[in-house]
Amino acid sequence: MELYTGASLSLDWVKAYCLSSSGGPAIYVDKDTTVNINNSTLYSSTYVVNAEAAEGANVTIRNSTIASIASNALSNYKSEGQLSDDGSAFAYAISSNCNIDIDSTSVYGIQGAISLNGGTALLGKDVYAYSGPDVFEIDDVMREDFKDFYMNWLITSRSEFEVLPGEIYCAVYVAGERSEVNKAFINGGVYVSDSPKATIRVGNNEDGGLGKAAYCVINDGTFECKSEEGKVALSENLT
């Protein structure tokens, strides 16, 4: 689903699953659009909400479950049998360069749950964000359909199901890759990751991009990194 400049979208009590080998998001958000997601369950093999080119847009998510199985282990095909130039499907469940407000919502990813690469963000007291293999334990759809997809589209075949540590990044990533992150407010919630990197990562050097300033204000919350190598928070610009 693609929303272009000036469009609006409201989803309420929607359950949708997107299995895509092309790398396309479930919802693409363009500039100056308005998106409201309420009481919905949205799963994708890539982005669920891709608002990376959405300057001036407003996205609000409430009472929903958002989940992605994207990671650098998945092949991203332009067409059958042909790997894309980047070779793999990098994506967070939610990637935002706009004004985004999330609360009373669970967000799951393998590479990561929430990427804030520009704009402003409010993460409320009832947010749950997780990165790691437990995304496949949400329900039977994840355990069966999405796990089968994951195994079939692995760049390197594996005889058994496994998510490797190098495929897990962060529960929340805050970086000025697309524009300056004016402020990302974490006002509570629970943030968990199996990443050997960090649960919350604030800075500009992980993926490149424009390298603009990124600011994160953590007012409250519970943070856990399950990996012995990882950190709860890793920052270069933390206010």
User: What 3 state SS string does the chain have?
Assistant: CEECCCCEEEEECCEEEECCCCCCCCEEECCCCEEEEECCEEEECCCCEEECCCCCCEEEEECCEEEECCECCECCEEECCEECCCCCECCCCEEEEEEEEEECEEEEECCEEEEEEEEEEEECCCEEEEECHHHHHCCHHHHHHHHHHHHHCECCCCCCCCCCHHHCCEEEEECECCCCEEEEEEEEEEEEECCCCEEEEECCCCCCCCCECEEEEEEEEEEEECCCCCEEEEECCCC
pLDDT by 10s per residue, the chain, length 239 = 777 777 899 999 999 999 887 767 789 999 999 999 999 999 999 999 999 888 899 999 999 999 999 998 888 755 555 555 555 688 999 999 999 999 999 999 999 999 998 899 999 999 999 999 999 999 999 999 999 999 988 887 788 899 999 999 999 999 877 776 678 999 999 999 999 988 998 876 555 666 677 888 999 999 999 988 878 877 664 44
Give the number of domains in the chain.
1
Residues in a beta bridge with 222: 190
- Spatial neighbors of 98 by CB under 8 A, at least 6 apart, are 29, 51, 54, 55, 56, 57, 58, 59, 118, 119
* Whole-angstrom distance, CA of residue 191 vs CA of residue 116: 15
**Position of tokens 């949205």?**
42
Dig out the tokens for 84 from the structure. 């894309």
pLDDT of residue 236: 61
Give the predicted TM-score (pTM) of the model.
0.92
Residue-wise burial string across 109-118, b where 16 or more C-beta atoms lie within 10 A, e elsewhere:
bbbbbbbbbb
Residues in a beta bridge with 96: 51, 116
- The alpha carbon dihedral of 178, 183, 189, 193 has a sign of positive
Q: Cβ of 5: how many Cβ atoms within 10 Å?
A: 11
Q: Which range marks the domain in which residue 224 is found? A: 2-235
Dig out the tokens for 64 from the structure. 């929903």
* Whole-angstrom distance, CA of residue 59 vs CA of residue 153: 31
